Amino acid sequence: MAALSIHHFRQAKQDGQPLVALTAADYATAQILDKAGIDLILVGDSLAMTSLGYTSTLPLTLEAMLHHAQAVRRGVERAFLVADLPFMTYQVQKEQALLSAGRLMKEAGVNGVKLEGGYPDMVETVAFLVQRGIPVLGHIGLTPQAKHQLGGYRQQGKTSPEAERLRQEALNLEQAGAFALVLEHMPAELAAQISEQVGIPTLGIGAGPDCDGQILVTHDLLGLSERIPPFAKAYTNLRQTILEAVQAFVVEVQKGAFPPS
């Protein structure tokens, strides 16, 4: 199976072919997503919450991200593999971002990195990484690493100055060389306008149907998360499925029915 390259993303947008992206944090999940034909697999820092039990993404370290990204890498043959830069591993200065991204590329073999924000310093950082050969996925709108500044996980871009700022950030990130943009939790109309304005594909999450693709947190899709955001969809209830399987095992062991004699 040929591995997807960065060219796949612009081509898909030109062809009007919706892009499909999901998160993974371990080897088995990565293998399944890759087999299903996902275009992009993100080792998202949401794993701090879904896999590690933290209440936000802020505590995730670069070492922990490397550990998960290495496991995911071993399970992915085709999809374009991107890892999130954890909080405070890239915001200090662009050289810090380059060193963190470099470690993810060298030590985990990811194809690119995602970072949050489209403010001027971050746009400069994106250009700095791209010029040094690192594909960057941008992320604007609700940026969970800024939850304390944003006052929670609320929808962004609801007022017209905020919407204008987000449109400008999208254009600036494209200009800086980002290969695609995650648009998180913003009005559908705004995400549609941004998707129309930029030449690079947008991956929406809580951003309506008119993005160039969609991304979801796999734990939400599978019904493994404790709570799912209002814009996510659980396609199955694995919490219940796993509970029932484990309960069946408990009963069979207690009855002496497993293993069979």
212 is in an annotated binding site: no
Decide if residue 204 touches Na ion (CB under 5 A): no
Tokens of 9: 């993303």
45 is in an annotated binding site: yes
Stretch that binds ligand KIV, among 43-51, 67-75, 145-153, 230-238 (CB under 6 A): 43-51
Nearer to ligand KIV, 160 or 206 (CB): 206
Q: Which of residues 65-104 bind ligand KIV (CB under 6 A)?
A: 84
Tokens of 174: 């494209």
Identify which of 65, 18, 59, 67 has the alpha carbon closest to the alpha carbon of residue 39: 18
Give CA–CA dist 218/224, Å, rounded. Answer: 8
Decide if residue 217 touches ligand KIV (CB under 6 A): yes
Nearer to ligand KIV, 71 or 217 (CB): 217
DSSP bridge partners of 183: 140, 204
DSSP bridge partners of 140: 183
Stretch that binds ligand KIV, among 1-9, 39-47, 168-176, 231-239 (CB under 6 A): 39-47
114 is in an annotated binding site: yes
The DSSP secondary-structure symbol of 231 reads: T
Q: What are phi and psi of 81, to 5 degrees?
A: -105, 120
Those residues whose C-beta lies under 8 Å from the C-beta of residue 140, and which sit 6 or more positions away, are: 116, 117, 118, 166, 169, 170, 173, 181, 182, 183, 184
Give CA–CA dist 187/181, Å, rounded. Answer: 16
Please report how close the Cβ of residue 114 comes to Na ion at its closest, in angstroms: 7
Q: Would you call 184 a catalytic residue per the annotation?
A: yes
Decide if residue 206 touches Na ion (CB under 5 A): no
Q: Which of residues 65-84 bind Na ion (CB under 5 A)?
A: 84
The DSSP secondary-structure symbol of 85 reads: P
Nearer to Na ion, 54 or 77 (CB): 54
Stretch that binds Na ion, among 25-33, 41-49, 195-203, 248-256 (CB under 5 A): 41-49
77 is in an annotated binding site: no
138 close to 171: Cβ distance less than 8 angstroms: no
The binding site for ligand KIV (CB under 6 A) comprises: 23, 42, 44-46, 84, 182, 205, 215, 217
Residues classed as catalytic: 184
The binding site for Na ion (CB under 5 A) comprises: 44-45, 84
